[in-house]
Structure 1
Amino acid sequence: MGAKAVRLYYDQALFKEPGGGRTPWHQDQIYWPFNTDKMITMWMPLVPISEEVGSMTFASESQKMGYISKLVISDESDRTLAGYIERKGFEKVTYGAMEAGDATFHSGWTLHNAPSNPTDQMRKVMTVIYVADDAVIVEPDSNARRSDLEACLSGQKPGETPSSPLNPLLYSEDWER
């Protein structure tokens, strides 16, 4: 991340039911009301994920493009961003089967999607989002960012840095001294 200190932004469990559909192409960071690109998502299966279920697919190097589209996760984001990925020639990378506790990490601006769950088992995944301690909360420019500001930053306001009880400091390079 290139940050001197890192905070928890939020974590969430994502359960994809048996027969659950694919997760469309999207960028996580369109939901996050910050002025920085120093945000990372960890995606970790809580159960073994077979090749049949698979892990996420990433459009390699797409994070370098920054804020591509305000489209929230939808059929429209899937069509629009799939076309964008093709036009830009981004390599698509997936990691297939994963064991419980394995993890992938990606920038908040990385375009990614996830396949459907064709099995009869629940796909259980945990995500943790990390933000640089010096990130500044910005005025939300969308309902998605407004919702995240209210839900994840415990009454904090634009212009402040994340420091609510919901956003503990997890790492500081000063701790190493």
Structure 2
Amino acid sequence: MTEQAKTYYDMQNEYPLNKEQTDKYQEDGHIFLTNVATPEEIAYYEEQITSIVMELNYHDKPVSERDTYGKAFIQVGNLWQKSEEVKRFVLAKRFAKIAADLMGVEGVRIYHDQALFKEPGGGHTPWHQDQIYWPLDTDKTITMWMPLVPIPQEVGTMSFASGTHKLGYVNKQFISDESHKTLGQFIEGKGIPQVNYGAMSPGDATFHSGWTMHSAPGNPTEHMRKVMTVIYIADGLTVAEPDSKARESDMKSWFPGCKPGDPAASPLNPLVYSRK
């Protein structure tokens, strides 16, 4: 790749947001944005990300023989450490500034990235809250969810339960049939509005809070649903005392060397945007 192409694909330029968009995110806990990455950028990075995901795919059973979590997707994290090319994507200033603007914070760090590839015949992703896994006591977390390939209506994108980010910790159930049933009943019982943004193009993105309840349907098609996610946390946070084995595991994995009370700023959590 030429030096000119490298500069182009660094994605350092800004994606402007207006007050209506930031207000909507603050109210709903989720938002849909179009053309966050260009077709050219996505075409290049899709190839890089897919190569790593296929190499590191840990599944050794057919989809039909896995549990609910295993059926949901191929999941590979911290790709930014495995490729200098993917590092440019994950640490892109353009994405990070959107995250900071939506949360209304001065700067953001990476928590980690995850490729989530839903295979042909892959199962649904149950209702859940991301942040039950994260050793952080804050509402200043956000995930960018960006398709690398077209996602037609029949494959489906995520559904969000609007306003649930304001509730914080609702229950401790991890992604499972139980979480889908319990949170689904909670959402229906409270009459909480559900939003699905429908078909998405490569380079479109949704952003949602760590506490926003969300789910996704299965993949009934013969095509892989390829999605890349990046999780951001506000700069200046501290690591919370883990209150579950999952949070203890996440502390060791994503905040290596950090103890409760330490800044949430290990070498795996670089500062990717700051207004200062």
1:127 is the counterpart of 2:229: yes
> TM-score scaled to structure 2, two decimals?
0.62
Q: Paired residue for 1:48, among 150, 157, 162?
A: 150
Name the CA distance, whole Å, in 1 between partners of 2:202 and 2:220: 19
What is the match of residue 9 of structure 2? none
Asked which structure has the greater RCO (Cα within 8 Å, sep 6+), the reply is 1
Shift of 1:88: 1.3
1:106 is the counterpart of 2:208: yes
Higher helix share: 2
**RMSD between aligned residues:** 0.8
Name the CA distance, whole Å, in 1 between partners of 2:229 and 2:205: 9
Q: Paired residue for 1:16, among 79, 104, 118?
A: 118
What is the match of residue 144 of structure 1? 246
What is the match of residue 20 of structure 2? none
Q: Paired residue for 1:63, among 157, 160, 165?
A: 165
Q: Percent identity?
A: 66
Name the CA distance, whole Å, in 2 between partners of 1:160 and 1:113: 32
Name the CA distance, whole Å, in 2 between partners of 1:20 and 1:165: 34
Shift of 1:118: 0.2
Name the CA distance, whole Å, in 1 between partners of 2:150 and 2:258: 38
Shift of 1:2: 2.3
Q: Using the TM superposition, name which of 67-76 and 163-172 deviates more.
A: 163-172
Gaps of 5+ in 2: 1-102
Name the CA distance, whole Å, in 1 between partners of 2:221 and 2:249: 33
Name the CA distance, whole Å, in 2 between partners of 1:58 and 1:91: 8
Name the CA distance, whole Å, in 1 between partners of 2:249 and 2:228: 20
Shift of 1:56: 0.1
Name the CA distance, whole Å, in 2 between partners of 1:162 and 1:139: 12
Higher strand share: 1
Task: Say which SS state the counterpart of residue 239 (structure 2) adopts.
Answer: coil
Task: Say which SS state the counterpart of residue 227 (structure 2) adopts.
Answer: strand
Name the CA distance, whole Å, in 2 between partners of 1:122 and 1:48: 10
1:75 is the counterpart of 2:153: no
Q: Using the TM superposition, name which of 155-164 and 102-111 deviates more.
A: 155-164
Gaps of 5+ in 1: none
What is the match of residue 35 of structure 1? 137
> TM-score scaled to structure 1, two decimals?
0.96
Task: Say which SS state the counterpart of residue 183 (structure 2) adopts.
Answer: helix
Name the CA distance, whole Å, in 2 between partners of 1:49 and 1:169: 31
Contact 1:133 1:161 in 2 (8 A): no
